[in-house]
Structure 1
Amino acid sequence: MQYSDFKPNEFIEDARFKQWVRHPNAELDAFWRDFLTKHPEKRQDIITATNFLLGIEQQVEEGSRADLHEDVVFGRIRQSIADEPAVPIRQLPRRIVWLAAACILLLLGYFLIPPELIQSQEVSYNSNRRHSTVALIEKVNDSGSPVTVALADGSTVVLQPGSRISYAQNFTVPKNREVYLSGEAFFEVAKNPDKPFLVFANELVTKVLGTSFNVRAYQKDKDVTVEVRTGRVSVAVDEKIANQKEVSTREREGILLLPNQQAVLARKEIRLVKSLVKAPILLSDLVPDQPHYSFVFEAVPATQVFKTFELAYGLEIVFDKDLFDRCLFTGDLTDMPPYEKLELVCRSIEASYRILDAQILIAGKGCEL
């Protein structure tokens, strides 16, 4: 059976695939993980089929099997493949089965490359520096407090204790502004579209044009972490590693991070995972011209509360709009941490949330009129 040639509708009809989605076990997990390792281009097709099957399963549980005629089913398949959301909020089936979250997390790359397929080759600070084509200045913070380093282009680096950084005296050559980091530092990068700013930290390369972000890359740590404060940041596996090892397209081409998002690179497996930061910050506290949003609500639809949360923090919340539009929320969330805000809203409408691949997924039974 050539799963590599399957389309979403063929996955939906396949007994083995349906068993994995609805009744997973270790053997099936291993099979589909191996399949995705060999065929990462099928990831989106499998996600589409998984979401569709779980939606159908829920409708059957509610006694609507008789309504699922063949033309309706395949019409929904075609629609699910063709539709591209125009806004961050996308509609889901009326109830998210959390098994789906686990399956999709697998598909999104958490286990995309099994550790046994890749032999780790750690990249050190010194080996990164040796690839520089210009003379470098090195700053070492051996104090007990953060130290601010000013770069020639107007960028600043807050270097944490026990960290060091190397950079060119000026950025006239080469074409990029290249910095080499060991340890942890917060970067405020001056905008220059003609000269991208690159931070080499162990096996990870962070590329920006002008933004602020934090990089943690101690040599002894198992992970490298990049957290974005403002702007957009691209992170990818260092080309030196990507050319030597069997690295997936996701790790090789990199991922885009927005404010309040982070990427964590597992150095041993060379696996890059995107998620939300532990404590999202209001965009209005980060950028002066960002609008302020009120978190005082009086009998407001939960969908409006979720939208306010999205706009205020720059996050993406996925939920069924029709389902939660009938749920009303009243309360003052002003002084609460972001996830506590969300927890209180969900609890009040008998819903729950999960975080998956930098998205917040809302699940619940909805509210009656």
Structure 2
Amino acid sequence: MIKDYRLFDITDFVLDEDFIRWVHEQREEDELFWNDWLRRHPGKHLVIAEARRILESLTTSQEPVPAEVVAHEVDRLLQTIRDQQPAPALRRVRSRHTRRYAAAAVILLALAGIAYFALTRQAPIRQVSYAALTAHRQLVENVNTSGSPIRLTLPDSSVIELAPDSRIAYAAGFDSARTRDVYLSGQAFFDVARMPNRPFRVFANDIVTKVLGTSFCIRSFENDTTIQVTVRTGKVSVYTNTSGRAGAENNAPGNPGEVILAPNQRLVYEKTAQKFQKVLLENPLMIVPAEVDRNMVYEEAPLKKVFDAIANAYDISIVYDEDLLQYCTVTADLRKEPFYRKLDLVCRAVGATYEVIEGQVVIQASGCN
């Protein structure tokens, strides 16, 4: 049966097997399908985001829960709801809309009960340390014991700014290895020399960041509850080091999948929950020459032209219903304005609002003013 996801509400998505697989397994084909579907139906971004949050909140690092336990918990919760139902006379005056929300409540309550039951059987969370990654290996190590960042140049000409109280190490045979692997504890900014045939990988405790050539910052102090990766230029992929070994790739069972990070995006990894969250920076920077900003003056310009210019200048995705807003025009002077101020001015011109979801901007509008 062909599903019409346009008619789905939050409950429908939470119970849909294909949607659940996308959230939990993050297969490439599912990513392509859902990203394309959301591009064509931007009005569903908020519903999708809420459904994802519900499913992710039920995801834990745990042992499998036996099927009979799941069935028992669901039956117990349903019986509780039945025992508390009103008298027949009252039930008859209920609307179909009310019954639907009641059904949704039962479903979510059952899911919550299963999640709670699973948490009581949670396996110990495995976290990876710098010491474990670098033990028994022939490495060149640099430690910053000063109060200021220090600048290091690797054998491949990549440049690192190592923050105070941080350390970094790499193999003595770094120049001849198939991959350029470094190990970080603390914080460092990387400006990586581009070598397409030799990927550059940073092992920072629980996560691995893989690039070909770009600039980015990683903060991964062992006492912090989170690890953060922030991209300045280019793109990086980030995944968890589930094996706990140096040289690990992102194909271990249970790995939450690879997350692609673009300029002006930050990935926050919560160590205890073992979850990724992608966010935009508070003050995104332009990645194009300064003269591009000087040309951002518009007089009755098509909305698409303005949004495309902003998106390209910051390499940030802006999602909106192009058919609905195809006749909108903008008159505004956006020069020297920060990213979010630009968005405010454009949205005000067409009577729209915006929200940042999963590292991209989603425009909400009902038409033009």
Tell me the TM-score normalized by structure 1: 0.71
Q: Is the 8 A contact 2:161 2:189 kept in 1?
A: yes
Larger radius of gyration: 2
- CA distance in 1 between counterparts of 2:156 and 2:171 reads 10
Distance in structure 2 (CA, Å) of the matches to 1:200 and 1:332? 44
- Cα deviation for residue 47 of structure 1 reads 10
The 1-side partners of 2:27 and 2:141 are apart by 43
Whether contact under 8 Å (1:180, 1:201) holds in the other structure is yes
**Distance of aligned partners of 1:186 and 1:153 in 2 relative to their CA distance in 1, 3 Å threshold:** same
Q: Is the 8 A contact 2:23 2:52 kept in 1?
A: no
Gap regions ≥5 residues in structure 1: 1-5, 22-27, 49-80
Q: Which runs of 4+ in 1 moved over 4 A?
A: 41-48, 81-85, 241-246, 290-293
Indicate yes or no: 2:125 matched with 1:120: yes
What is the aligned partner in structure 2 of residue 281 from structure 1?
285
- Equivalent residues of 1:153, 1:170 under 8 A apart: no
Counting matched residue pairs gives: 306
2:269 aligns to what? 265
Corresponding position of 1:75: none
* Counterpart code for 2:3: P
Q: Describe how 1:305-324 pairs up with structure 2 within 5 A.
A: 305-324=306-325
- Cα distance in 2 between the residues matched to 1:82 and 1:148: 42
SS of equivalent to 2:340: helix
Q: Which amino acid aligns with 2:133?
A: N
Tell me which residue corresponds to 2:72.
none
Gap change, CA 1:83 and 1:358, over 3 Å in 2: closer
What does residue 144 of structure 2 align with? 141
Partner of 1:20: 11
> Contact between 1:301 and 1:324, CA under 8 Å: does it hold in 2?
no
Deviations 1:26-84 (A, max 9, x none): xx96x679x93798459999999xxxxxxxxxxxxxxxxxxxxxxxxxxxxxxxx7995
Per the alignment, do residues 176 and 244 of structure 1 end up closer, same or farther by CA in structure 2, a change over 3 Å counting? Answer: closer
Segments of structure 2 that go 5 or more residues without pairing to the other structure are 62-118
* Matched AA of 1:277: L
Q: Quote how far apart the aligned CAs of 1:189 are.
A: 0.8
Does 2:153 correspond to 1:150? Answer: yes
Distance 1:19 1:159 in 2: 45
Q: Percent identity?
A: 36
In the alignment, the residues of structure 1 paired with residue 30 and residue 59 of structure 2 have an alpha-carbon distance, to the nearest angstrom, of 17
Say whether residues 1:92 and 2:41 are aligned partners.
yes
The higher-RCO structure (CA 8 Å, 6+ apart) is 1
Determine if contact 1:92/1:318 at 8 Å carries over to the other structure. Answer: no
Q: Distance in 1 between matches of 2:30 and 2:22?
A: 14
Distance 2:263 2:344 in 1: 21
Is 1:329 the counterpart of 2:276 in the alignment?
no
Q: Please list the CA deviations of residues 142-191 of structure 1 after superposition, one character each: whole Å capped at 9, or x if unmatched.
A: 22211111111101100111211112345134321111101111001112
Secondary structure at the aligned position of 1:127 is classed as helix
| Residue aligned with 1:348, SS | helix
Amino acid across the alignment from 2:154:
L
How far is 1:320 from its partner? 0.8
The aligned counterpart of 1:77 is none
What CA RMSD, in Å, does the superposition of the two structures yield over aligned residues?
3.8
Match of 1:8 among 3, 8, 20: 3
Partner amino acid for 2:157? Answer: G
Whether 1:230 aligns to 2:214 is no
Does the 8 A contact of 1:197 with 1:207 survive in 2? yes
Look up the equivalent residue of 1:326 and give its one-letter code: Y
